[in-house]
Structure 1
Amino acid sequence: MTLPSPPALPEEYDAQVHMVTHQVRGRMFHATIPSVYLAAELMASGATADIAEAAAIFGAVLTCQEVRGTDPHCGNFRWELEDEVVEDLNAVQFVLFYCIPVLCIAQDALPRDLVAAMRRAVALGLEEIARIDVAPAYTNIVLKDIANSCLGGQLLGDDDIGRRGREKLVRWMAHVDTYGLPAEYNSPNYASVAVRVLGRLAELTEDEHTRIRARTMLARLGLSAALHVHPGIGCWAGPFSRAYSHAVFNADAFGADDVRAWV
């Protein structure tokens, strides 16, 4: 089997802190989500040096988790290393979405102490996810809630967590049935996110009913997108939900080729 090509470390990567940076008005910040995404990509390459760098990144990301039991968002993550408090409650969803699959697939490649720390972070993060209990109308985040809970419960051997995710998937499907499409329907930004999350769930879940449900909704979302692609020019047509201009008006905007890739 041919392993994926190792991703190049981005120019904005801080090798001393092991996090991806960005600048705002001349000040440098270390970003949690791009960093954990990079770590997951490095793990996928399978190269020894990449795994070592990924381990360092995961360790850095864990320092961004709020672990004080007195904090109302204990278990969540700061969006940036420099933040003093948790500002975006969705951060925990993004971090766990990249950490849990790595632990499901490749934890043996990581140092044992790091794996133990990541598992503790996942358990604490799942408690926060359950407290937030995002509504089914928030499509891309509720799907991350579902995937994180299903796969996180599976990883930790905690059926209460897993059952919460499985039951929430059923409730989300009923919500979609009520309106015909998810709230973030036909979205140039978030349709691909929904497909990616459901695809990850279908790939990794050990529960056959959950796998069937995830694949069913993948087909439903994919068909909706395909029906909105102009057959002549291959562009995606509206109406859109949550369509940001940079996602619609650019050379790489979603279109017929993306739908073919899904199929």
Structure 2
Amino acid sequence: MSAQSNHNQLLARLSEQDASYDPAVKMQFGPMMKTYHTALKKDSYPYVHETYLSVVYALDLLDSTLPEYTERAAKILSVILQLQDTRQDSPTYGLWPYYYEEPLDQMEAPDWNYADFIGKKLVLVLKHHGDRLSEVLKQGLLEAIGRACQAIMTRDVGPSYTNIAVMGAFVTLVGGEVIGQEKLVQYGRNRLQRLYDYTMRLGTFVEFNSPCYTPITIEELHHIHKETKDPDSIRLTERLQHIAWKMAAERYHPRTKEWAGPHSRSYSPMLNRSSLEYDIIRQVLENDPDPDPQAVRCPEELLPYFSLEEERHLRCPIFDEEETGYQSYATTYMHEDYCLGSFTKDMMWNQRENLIAYVDNHGKAAYVQLRFLKDGKDFSSAVFTGVQDKSDIVFGINMALDFGDWHPALDPVNGVFDAEDIRIRIEIGGYTEGLDYLSGNKQDYDAAVVIGNQTVRVKQLSALSDMGVPRIAITRSEQEGLLGIDYIIYEGLRKEFDFHKWNQAAWVFLFTLSARVEELQSGSEVNNGSLYAWCEKQDRKMSITIPVKPERIGQLFRNNEVSFMAEDV
């Protein structure tokens, strides 16, 4: 996209942002969207003044270079500076709250990422537009950036938190250059080097294959590359950008126009075409003949992946095993008509997509996703273990005693909770017109769903649960356009569940996705308190082994085991 096109887009975006500006408070005002960290509830505060959107708006106003917008930007920035915690003895020194309506000390859990997110915007404001601002405001920005950098260094995020590791490196490295503090520059340089060394040792990012955060990581690396004066950091960002782009390019599925799984973090099972994060993918697909030389660019040698329809099988480790004490592998199978991905082990948080497929349904995309639901919401205390060979997956679920409900850390339940509905669901969404489904078939699967030219088949291999064997049901929501193959563990009056008292809570399944039924042998058995499940084809076997009794999550990650099929010779 050309520089002129970018400027036109900026003006169009400003026209929309202007409508949300509240001149009385001098901030952006709109619907409350946050669910984490804030104690505010949507029914009491349906609309709020949001800090981050306001600072984004201020930077956009200044980027427009229109003189009439400078004064408004200055007013917004003055309010933003007032909202930062400036008390040096405060545990949240250098942070900002989400909302004008909710001070930091009233939040459920202040978000330390806001030092990075808002700090970055302030660095860009001062670096690119400081000469248009008053000396008082410039001094305020300089001090605010210094406080944000102090918060970032105090927290000292490790390289496994990929996008924040990069963003914090930007704020401290480039921010240190802008405000003239060599100590910050050195910290930012070292932080980027740590991320580089860690990533090169692992071969990928721990925040693996995230449709929402990989584009942010690419953009943040690009911004460091563009804004810093440090030649070593420029070199490191070039190499890290290539790794991020390769991860995305290899897993873009041209037929469905989706990002193949598995996904370490995602807010929606399908790509959001209107999101800012999708812009970098759009730029590749549109193949702009007049690109802005300053824009984020995919390396030329990776561009063919975005149109290449071929069979491809990818697998890589995603954790530093010496650091975690266990390993998880990400497997992706690419086929012309569909793609299927899975991790070998992870929690079932709503941002994790441990088993997910995208299928061409007569020219439009449908998705197939595994979920563990408590009262209709993903339950992060459920632990996934799976092993995949191309289009076939053996997977199991067991339960953690020391983990969370809808969020792994912010709302711990530690194995004790109330519920009126608990179920394992194979969910099919996206374009679901014309699906043909049935419960049970002659191949002894519990359920089969035909999507385009492919068929999803699911079979429960064993259920060891104090609640007995789950009831199988095909559920359909016409309003949401969703189909569910449900294994209902409990459905009834609200009651308390205490996994500390359970002797058994483990379920294992066979999942296949293909145009025709292959000759598969599968089964399960119990041995020494563990549930063993396997699948065999053409004298090649894969398997999982999971403890049946609920345990602490660290134990489950270490004790849940997988064995891959031998590679075809």
Pairwise CA distance, 1:257: 2.9
Query: Does residue 26 of structure 2 align to residue 18 of structure 1?
Result: yes
The superposition leaves residues 218-243 of structure 1 with CA deviations (integer Å, 9 ceiling, x where unpaired) of: 12211211111123443221121202
Q: Give matches, 1:44-55, under 5 Å.
A: 44-55=63-74
Structure 2 unaligned runs (5+)? 32-41, 286-295, 299-569
- In the aligned structure 2, how far is the partner of 1:34 from the partner of 1:72? 24
- In the aligned structure 1, how far is the partner of 2:258 from the partner of 2:53? 28
Query: Does residue 76 of structure 2 align to residue 79 of structure 1?
Result: no
Q: Which of 193, 199, 211 lines up with 1:188 in the alignment?
A: 211
Contact kept, 8 Å, 1:146 with 1:168, in 2: the verdict is yes
Contact kept, 8 Å, 1:154 with 1:162, in 2: the verdict is yes
Q: Which of 234, 248, 258 lines up with 1:211 in the alignment?
A: 234
The superposition leaves residues 69-110 of structure 1 with CA deviations (integer Å, 9 ceiling, x where unpaired) of: 221111111121122225111111111111101211221011
Q: Give matches, 1:141-160, under 5 Å.
A: 141-160=164-183
Kindly indicate which of the two structures has a greater share of residues assigned to strand: 2
- In the aligned structure 2, how far is the partner of 1:152 from the partner of 1:249? 33
Query: Does residue 7 of structure 2 align to residue 4 of structure 1?
Result: yes
Pairwise CA distance, 1:217: 1.0
- In the aligned structure 2, how far is the partner of 1:250 from the partner of 1:124? 35
Query: Does residue 216 of structure 2 align to residue 197 of structure 1?
Result: no
- In the aligned structure 1, how far is the partner of 2:273 from the partner of 2:163? 24
- Residue 39 of structure 1: aligned partner: 58
**Rg comparison, structure with higher value:** 2
Q: Which of 156, 169, 177 lines up with 2:192 in the alignment?
A: 169
Cα pair distance change 1:251/1:149, threshold 3 Å: closer
The superposition leaves residues 22-75 of structure 1 with CA deviations (integer Å, 9 ceiling, x where unpaired) of: 343242421111111111111111001122211111111111100112211111
- In the aligned structure 2, how far is the partner of 1:194 from the partner of 1:250? 17
Pairwise CA distance, 1:11: 3.0
Contact kept, 8 Å, 2:258 with 2:271, in 1: the verdict is no
Secondary structure, in 3 states, of the residue corresponding to 2:83? coil
Q: Which amino acid aligns with 2:24?
A: Q
Q: Which amino acid aligns with 1:122?
A: I
Which stretch has the larger CA shift, 32-41 or 226-235? 226-235
Kindly indicate which of the two structures has a greater share of residues assigned to helix: 1
Pairwise CA distance, 1:259: 4.0
Pairwise CA distance, 1:178: 2.5
Pairwise CA distance, 1:139: 1.0
- Residue 297 of structure 2: aligned partner: 262
C-alpha RMSD of the superposition = 2.0
Query: Does residue 141 of structure 2 align to residue 118 of structure 1?
Result: yes
Contact kept, 8 Å, 1:222 with 1:262, in 2: the verdict is no
> Per chain length, whose mean CA-contact separation is higher, i.e. which structure has more relative contact order (CA < 8 Å, sep 6+)?
1
Pairwise CA distance, 1:160: 1.1
- In the aligned structure 1, how far is the partner of 2:177 from the partner of 2:84? 22
The superposition leaves residues 178-231 of structure 1 with CA deviations (integer Å, 9 ceiling, x where unpaired) of: 221111121111011111111111111011111111122112211211111123
- Residue 251 of structure 2: aligned partner: 228
- In the aligned structure 1, how far is the partner of 2:176 from the partner of 2:268? 37
Q: Which amino acid aligns with 1:4?
A: H
Cα pair distance change 1:13/1:73, threshold 3 Å: same
- Residue 105 of structure 1: aligned partner: 128
Cα pair distance change 1:252/1:69, threshold 3 Å: closer
Secondary structure, in 3 states, of the residue corresponding to 2:19? coil
Contact kept, 8 Å, 1:225 with 1:259, in 2: the verdict is no
The superposition leaves residues 131-174 of structure 1 with CA deviations (integer Å, 9 ceiling, x where unpaired) of: 01112111111111101010011012111110111011111111
Which stretch has the larger CA shift, 1-10 or 222-231? 1-10
- Residue 65 of structure 1: aligned partner: 84
- In the aligned structure 1, how far is the partner of 2:149 from the partner of 2:281? 37
Contact kept, 8 Å, 1:37 with 1:98, in 2: the verdict is yes
- In the aligned structure 2, how far is the partner of 1:69 from the partner of 1:45? 35
Contact kept, 8 Å, 1:65 with 1:76, in 2: the verdict is yes
**What's the TM-score, normalizing by structure 1?**
0.92
Which stretch has the larger CA shift, 91-100 or 229-238? 229-238
Secondary structure, in 3 states, of the residue corresponding to 1:262? coil
Structure 1 unaligned runs (5+)? none
Secondary structure, in 3 states, of the residue corresponding to 1:4? helix
Secondary structure, in 3 states, of the residue corresponding to 1:22? strand
Pairwise CA distance, 1:10: 4.2
Contact kept, 8 Å, 1:226 with 1:256, in 2: the verdict is no
Cα pair distance change 1:236/1:126, threshold 3 Å: same
- In the aligned structure 1, how far is the partner of 2:30 from the partner of 2:274? 23
**What's the TM-score, normalizing by structure 2?**
0.44
The superposition leaves residues 111-138 of structure 1 with CA deviations (integer Å, 9 ceiling, x where unpaired) of: 2211111101111111111101112111
